[in-house]
A and B are shown apart, each in its own frame.
Chain A
Amino acid sequence: MLFLVSVTGILSISSCKKDTEETPVPESSYTPTPYELRVPTGWSVPVIPDFNPTTVEGVRLGRMLFYDNILSMNGRSCSSCHHPDKSYSTPVFVSNSGESISVPPLINLAWNPDFEWYGQVPKLDHVPLGDFTPEFFDPNMDTIVARIKAHPLYPRYYYEAFGIKDVGAISSDELKLKSSYAIIQFVRTLISDNSKFDKVMRHETAFTPEEMDGSVTFYTEKGDCFHCHGTPLLTNNVITNNGLDTVFSGENQGYYNVTGRPTDMGKFSAPTLRNIELTAPYMHDGRFQTLEEVIEFYNSGVHWSSPNIDPIMTKPFKEYGLMLSDQDKSNLIAFLKTFTDTSVINNPEYTNPF
């Protein structure tokens, strides 16, 4: 706490100094520069809505807001729960209602069609709006506007990204929206495509025999991981019930909470397995602490009688599980660890700019 106060003090001092040196909002015209999102070979076209095109200026603003606690009253920033070294996730968030929620990683989201564990937010650009609540940022918009206006850089950055000449002259809802848009423009640039798995696909290196064996388990009926975790993104973006539970309540009702359809009870979005080594614990509620526990669940713990369970999960002759040997399991985990991409963590374009 003391540390935070000290930092704020320094920022205040430096802001006073800078204020006198530069004009916050220049008279130049508002002409944001389009940001060309890199599309790795073999990936589909990313989903970028017309209402929030990615621009160099928007990404710059979004990156600052992502790491800055200027939008909150409690010292939090996006990066408080989305740590780069954990693939922009955090182990577990405990909600006000006391339920544990595994925080999804923020990588390759430009290719996702739905967001959060049960697809409750249809547009990525609106996801950060959920942080402007007492549970997350606990914002006081008057204070936030005053902070931004007094900042040496933000007034110019908001102008150059969105043409906003005075953040105090727009509604607080508009300010939240544009801040969300900027944050998401930055998040869309967080692309993970340089894991060992990717390098093998590009013929730059080769799997070890153990990893190769694990990949066969992954991509054949033996382990049958690929039906939900296929494509270069390692998710097919299905919202489905993988047989975790038979009885549901609260957050565990999953997609049912969005649609109200009984047939959607217990369905969750299949997450990407990219950087899965870094994002423990696992499942939407973080119930499994290790990859070993996850594999053992699929090997022997699936609840066949779960209502609306994905048909893929109920194979005949698999009543007693996948029957993977200990070697199969450890090889599969060796393969899963080839999805780890440290370059997305250490990329200087993504790190804390402060």
Chain B
Amino acid sequence: MKKIFISVISLAVLLGGCKKDSETEPTPLTPNSFTITISHSVDAQSLYFDSLMYTNEAGYNYSVSRVWYYLSNLKLIKSDSSEIKISDYLFVDAAQSSTCKMNLSSVPEGSYIGIAYSIGLDSSTNQTGALPATVENLQMEWPVPMGGGYHFLKFEGSFIDSSLSYGFTMHIGTNTYLVNGKAWRNFSIGSGNNQINLAMNLNEWFRNPMVYDFDMDGNYSMGNMMAMDKLMKNGADVFNIVP
């Protein structure tokens, strides 16, 4: 009985597809499962928290104590540069693997050349209380006296400067500093299970197009528009696609 039901649905989908084909542009939309896993590294090194083992572009040794962010507006990029939106938002805590995975069920089959993403939330969502009151969303709130909404990114740790240890807190928020980026790689989505890995290289926050220097640019981005602007621009290539 279940099989018959599925067949009927499939037939309806196919018929619907045929009808649309003749009327508008081709849209061969066959739902396929697509799992995106998210990993974090610092150049070639794996991410270990609270360990002063990394070096950024400006030459500071640093450790990482927290990486929290919203990954949103994921879009598949086709070879003709058109984009298909496949997700709204995901809260990611790099220390919690359960948050580093997105399971999508209705992703159109086809060949793609990359994925576009935002780190943060678009303006319609970036309003205090717009997201469900989950523990993580409440923890990401951007206080109302400073404009409301949510933190887009909390990237924190410590670094060494002239033999002394200092903290750094790279926080981004407010609509102006929504990070929009793209990651490039040819991949295809077919029937069955599909999976890719989005790999964030934390060092990319500190370089390309601009070197971020804790001493010169500030080790505390909150309330520092120049710092948040730099981080936003550097964030455009923090992800790579790993098949």
Contact = CB atoms under 8 A, between A and B. Distances in A.
Contacts of A315: 220
Given A42-B133, A43-B133, A312 B156 contact: yes
B146 A219 contact: yes
A41 to B, nearest CB: 8
Given A308-B50, A311-B158, A219 B167 contact: no
Contact of A221 (B49, B156, B223): B223
Nearest to B223: A221
Q: What DSSP secondary structure best describes chain A's contact surface? A: loop
A231 B138 contact: yes
Nearest to B63: A263
Interface in A259-286: 261, 263
Given A310-B167, A311-B169, A316-B218, 8 more contacts: A44-B134, A44-B138, A220-B146, A221-B222, A221-B223, A230-B143, A231-B138, A307-B165
A239 to B, nearest CB: 11
A314 B167 CA distance: 6
A316 B143 contact: no
Contacts of B158: 311
B167 A231 contact: no
B129 interface: yes
A221 B49 CA distance: 26
Interface string A3-42: 0000000000000000000000000000000000000001
A58 B135 CA distance: 26
A200 to B, nearest CB: 11
B145 A216 contact: yes
Given A45-B134, A263-B50, A313 B145 contact: no
Interface in A299-325: 305, 307-316
Interface of B: 49-51, 65, 129, 133-135, 137-139, 141, 143-146, 156-158, 165-169, 218-220, 222-223
Most chain A CB within a 10 A radius of its CB, from B134, B137, B165: B165
B138 A314 contact: no
Contact of B139 (A219, A230, A263, A309): A230
A215 interface: yes
Given A44-B134, A315-B220, A226 B167 contact: no
Contacts of B65: 310-311
Given A311-B169, A314-B167, A230 B218 contact: no
Contact of A231 (B49, B139, B144, B219): B139
Given A311-B169, A313-B167, A236 B139 contact: yes
Which 8 A-B residue pairs are closest in the complex by CB-CB distance? A311-B167, A219-B143, A263-B50, A231-B138, A314-B167, A311-B156, A219-B145, A221-B223
Nearest to B51: A263
Nearest to A235: B139
Interface in A314-340: 314-316
B224 to A, nearest CB: 9
B141 A230 contact: yes
B63 to A, nearest CB: 8
A272 B90 CA distance: 27
A130 B100 CA distance: 35
A216 B146 CA distance: 9
Contacts of B167: 309-314
Interface in A216-268: 216, 219-221, 226, 230-233, 236-237, 261, 263
A308 to B, nearest CB: 7
B133 A44 contact: yes
Nearest to B136: A44
A305 B163 CA distance: 12
Residue from A113, A236, A305 with most neighbouring chain B CB atoms (10 Å): A236
Given A311-B65, A311-B157, A311-B158, A215 B145 contact: yes
A230 B173 CA distance: 16
B9 to A, nearest CB: 33
11 contacts: A219-B144, A220-B223, A230-B139, A237-B135, A263-B49, A263-B50, A310-B167, A311-B219, A313-B167, A314-B166, A316-B219
